[in-house]
Structure formats: C-alpha cells, structure tokens
Amino acid sequence: MDLIPKPDQVVAAAGNVAHTLLYGGLADLRPMPRTLIDDGVLREVYHYRPAADVAETGDPVLLVNPLAAPSLCFDLRRDCSLVEHLVTGGRPTYLVEYGQVSFKDRGLGMEHWVDEVLPEAIRAVHEHSGGRGVHLVGWSLGGIFALLVAADRTDLPIASLTVIGSPVDVTKVPLMAPVRPLLNIGQGAGLVTRAYRALGGVPTPLVNWAFTAASAQKVVTKPLAVLTHLDDTEYLKQMEAVTRFMSNMTAYPGRTFGQLYHRFVKGNALAKGRMEIGDRTIDLAAISVPVLVFAGNTDGIAPLAAVRAVVPLLTGSPQVRFEVVPGGHLGMLTGRAARGTTWEAIDEWVAEWSAGPLPVRKAAGRSRKAPAKKAAAKKTAAKKAAAKKTAAKKAAAKKTAAKKAPARKKAAKKAASPGAIGSNPTRRYGSSGSRALGQR
C-alpha cells in the first residue's frame, strides 16, 4: 500500500480484512487428494490422484521430503503448489514422507533413509506406475538423500535427479560461520552431543526455533509487512500458507541428527563428495543419471556457493545442469515466482529424460533384509559390486553415445529460443523479483 492509500487500495484492504475475520483466512489450504500406496517404519508413499479432466501420461515424479519439514513444502496452497502443477499437467506424481518421529525412533540413523525408506519408495512408485523410470525431486535434505541413494544404489530404476536448495559445502553457509568455531570446542561427547542424546533427537519446538532463526529478519518485520500489504491478496495468502508450514515442523531422530551434525555440519564430509553411511562410504561420483541442481538467489539456508559445490563432484553423470532461480529456501520451491521458473525447468527436465519403461537391475549384492548375513556375504558382494561397476560403465557409455545425436538436435532447437527455461545453465533470473519474493 502507498503511504497515503488510494481509494482502490483501501477497498481491497478492507475486503481482505473482512474475509480473514469471517472465514479465518484468505488462502485455499486444501491439500491435493492422494492415496497411500506403500508404508513402513517412518515411510509413507502417496500417489496424488489425477485431475478429473486430465489423464496421467509419462514417467512418474517422486517428491522426496526432507526430515523435520512437513510435506506441505510441495503442496503449500492452491495456485502455489508444485503437486498441483504436476498433477494438472498430467504427470504421475508421488510423495515419500516420514510420519511423526518419536522418542522410540531415536536409534534410527541416516542409513534407515538411504538403505530402506527411499529405495523402497522408488520401487513402489516404479511398480505402481507400470514399470517406468522414476524422476526424483528432492528439496533441501531430501535432495541430499536423493543424491546419496542414487550414488549408492545404481540398480534402482532412477531416470533423473532434481536437487533443490541442497547445501553440499556447509562452510559456504553464512549462517554457520559464527557457530563453526564452537563446534570444535572439546572432543568426544560435547554439549551438543549430550543434549541430543538425552532428548532422543531434536524435538519439534527446537526445529521450529531453528527454522525461524534462519529467517529472523522476516519474523521481526512480519507485522509491518502485513500492514503494508493489506491490499495485496496474493501476498497475504502466501504469508498465511508459509506460517502454517512453519508451524508443522517435526522432530529429528537422535542418531540421524548426530550423524548429520558430526559428518555433515561439523565434518563437512560431502564437500569432497563422499560420506560414510552404515558400513560403507558413498561417493557422489558414482551417480550415473542426469542431475538438475537448483539454487535460490536469496537463500540464506542453502546459498549459491554451498549448493553449486555439488556440480564438480558429479563426474559420473551424463549431464549436470545448474540453475539459479528467484527466492529463498522455501520460495524457490513454492513461491509465486516458482511457477514460471523452477516448475517450468522441472517440466522440461523430466520430459527430456523420460524414456518409458525402465527395468530394475540386479542389486549390487548388499542384502537389506538380512543384516546378520552381511559379514559372511562380504566377499561375494564385493565380487558382484565389481562386476556391477564394469557393467554400469559399459551401459552408461552406450546410453551416452545413443543420446548424443538427439541431444544435438535438442540443443539446436533450444539455441533458437535462448530465453527458454532450462536452456542456458548460466542464465540468471532478475534480482529485483528475487528480492521481492524473498520477503514474502
């Protein structure tokens, strides 16, 4: 609103206030309808029901939720929902989320998500969609999980990866700079370690506080922002939806948080492309599918440099594309500007790498359901893994060679329209729009 509001601004503001008082809000917060197709320990896989007038076609997309954040990140509100965008476009759309973490889950480590949750979700989607390749879209820590699984399980029917706002080099996160020296004070079970062990993890109130602290400026200025935007219905809808999202954070299991804290935050393990999970080291260079990486140009939680650090590590991928889009950590995924930037780039990427039915290859020899037999099967698993790597290299070489010719044609077409979303890995979106979105 102007300092001295115009008559139309006064009328719009009055209407927004009246609607909020009468109906409890402005935003349409109805979730997109979905059906549970698979579940397990802290694993729920949903299929979003197709729109009444749209038939599902093409490869499926599996949205990978981060820990602690609600799946509302993908379905924030009507007209600002990646799920709604995909479903109304006819794309088979699925989601994996983790339910409510409780104290009894404190012993679960990252291997639970990397060995069990995400692989089982991929298999469920593959079967439910008629044997097609699965395109993973992971936001924040969900993107890190997707990268680790794709590197570790080359037997899974993964068609492509899309990683949104996932910081790989945490030394490049400004929010961490003031506290990094404190992480190295003392050895062994320090204050942080003793705290999360005693609590069984990081409880929901602390997760809410941490997310709020990352956007402290927005929280402080929120009352003023509401007053100055009383006439902007879309702005108020978005703020209402984001407030609901932040109030639905969940807890971190103790052991998982400990691994993230010691290896990811304190040790910055992924900056070199490797991380220890369970009894092995996972190398991101083993990823053999195309990867699309998004960074938000006002993201304080996962800034450009922290996200871009993954690009040189993906040496085994046939194509890596890095896109900078407007918005903060949540805004780049589901803000108002995401409709014409992030979502369109995802549409183009999935369409480009869709190949129809994709058979499941034999597992690399590691048994997930009989951990007691792991030691006895190590030698056999090692031989199978070596043979698997050789076969994977040959298959990747053939696949790359087969795609070169059509890739050149696509590149020629894209060159004719340089403004197309996703056509230029060095393209940058307007900073003024990004700053505006970052304040919403």
Residue 355: what pLDDT?
A: 86
pLDDT at 403: 46
CA distance 32 to 111: 30
Q: What is the pLDDT of residues 236-261, one digit of tens each?
A: 888 899 889 888 877 666 677 777 77
In Å, how far are 304, 316, 318, 349, 436 from 291, measured between CA atoms?
16, 10, 8, 9, 29
139 has pLDDT over 60: yes
d(CA 67, CA 46): 17
With respect to residue 192, please indicate whether it lies within any of the assigned structural domains. Answer: yes
User: Stretch 332-347: mean pLDDT, rounded?
Assistant: 95
Indicate the range of 82-86, 203-207, 283-287 predicted with least confidence.
Answer: 203-207
Which residues are paired to 61 by β-bridges? 93, 135
Helix axes 204-214, 233-246, angle to 10 degrees: 140
The pLDDT of 299-325, averaged and rounded, is: 96
Q: Which of 35-44, 73-82, 210-219, 237-246 has the lowest mean pLDDT?
A: 210-219
Tell me what pLDDT residue 151 has: 98
Q: Which domain holds residue 155?
A: 31-203+251-438
Q: For residue 2, what pLDDT is reported?
A: 67
Distances (CA, A) of 390 to 173, 281, 383: 37, 19, 11
Instruction: Answer yes or no: is 210 within a domain.
Output: no
Check residue 263 and report its DSSP letter. Answer: I
How far is the C-alpha of 415 from the C-alpha of 7, rounded, in Å?
47
243-302-165 Cα angle (round to 5): 80
Residue at 1 is within a domain: no
User: According to DSSP H, which parts of 416-439 are helical?
Assistant: 431-438
CA 129 to CA 134: how far, in whole Å? 9
pLDDT in tens, 147-180: 999 999 999 999 999 999 999 998 888 765 444 4
pLDDT, tens only, 355-380: 878 777 765 545 444 333 333 444 44
The answer, yes or no, to whether residue 202 has pLDDT greater than 90, is no
Query: What is the CA 150 to chain-centroid distance, rounded?
Result: 14
Q: Give first-to-last CA distance, the chain, whole Å.
A: 15
Which residue carries 């509100």 as its tokens?
77
Domain membership flag for residue 216: no
Give the C-alpha distances (Å, rounded to integers) separating 128 from 22, 25, 92, 222.
43, 37, 10, 43
- Residue 375 placed within a domain: yes
In a domain, 432, yes or no: yes
- How many domains does the structure of the chain reveal? 1
CATH number, domain containing residue 120:
3.40.50.1820
Residue 234 belongs to some domain of the structure:
no
Contact 318, 399 (CB under 8 A): yes
User: Measured between alpha carbons, how far is 366 from 384 in angstroms, rounded to an integer?
Assistant: 9
Phi, psi of 94, rounded to the nearest 5 degrees: -135, 160
In a domain, 99, yes or no: yes
User: Strands (DSSP E) along 239-290, which ranges?
Assistant: 252-253, 274-277, 280-283
- Give residue 302's pLDDT: 92
Question: Please, what sign has the CA dihedral across residues 429, 430, 435, 436?
Answer: negative
Q: Are strands 158-164 and 201-202 parallel, antiparallel or unpaired?
A: unpaired
In whole angstroms, give the CA distance from residue 323 to residue 212: 26
